[in-house]
Copies of this chain bind each other. A is one copy, B any other.
């Protein structure tokens, strides 16, 4: 684990995304109309994501435990694609990229698990960091 005892605290923000692709319009409709048998997919997945962000240091060996001071989750639905956007913020000595990506991956997995009974072809695509601010180097994804 990297030594951060000497580092200064600053505000850090990370925005990550994951994309869930379903195979038919009925699946999107069921998500939007909250008629998926397992429950309200977007709300339940968001809740799972909030927990996942906070638990990142318990899951990734070298991640430092840190005070997650904000997590926000948005969804953008376009055609058969559900884009998950998650923002994490802290005021601490190290960044929250992996926290955001971990949250995004758990939201995607929860959607996959909840949609499985009604759509056998759901796929999870490119979990990635979109943007980060604070710390040594800002980062802006080339595709953004």
**Interface residues in chain A, defined as those with a beta carbon under 8 Å from any beta carbon in chain B:** 1-5, 11, 38-40, 43-44, 46-48, 50-52, 54-55, 57-72, 89-93, 97-98, 101-102, 105-106, 108-110, 112-114, 116-117, 120, 123-128, 139
B70 close to A98 (CB less than 8 A): no
- Copy number in the complex reads 6
Q: List 5 A-B contacts (CB under 8 A).
A: A2-B38, A5-B89, A39-B47, A59-B106, A127-B127
A62 close to B113 (CB less than 8 A): yes
B109 close to A101 (CB less than 8 A): yes
B54 close to A43 (CB less than 8 A): no
- Determine the residue in chain B with the shortest Cβ distance to A52: B59
**Could you say which residues of chain B place their CB within 8 Å of the CB of A92?**
67
Q: State in angstroms the CA–CA spacing of A116 and B2 once bound together.
A: 12
B60 close to A106 (CB less than 8 A): yes
- Name A97's contact: one of B65, B116, B128 (CB within 8 Å): B116
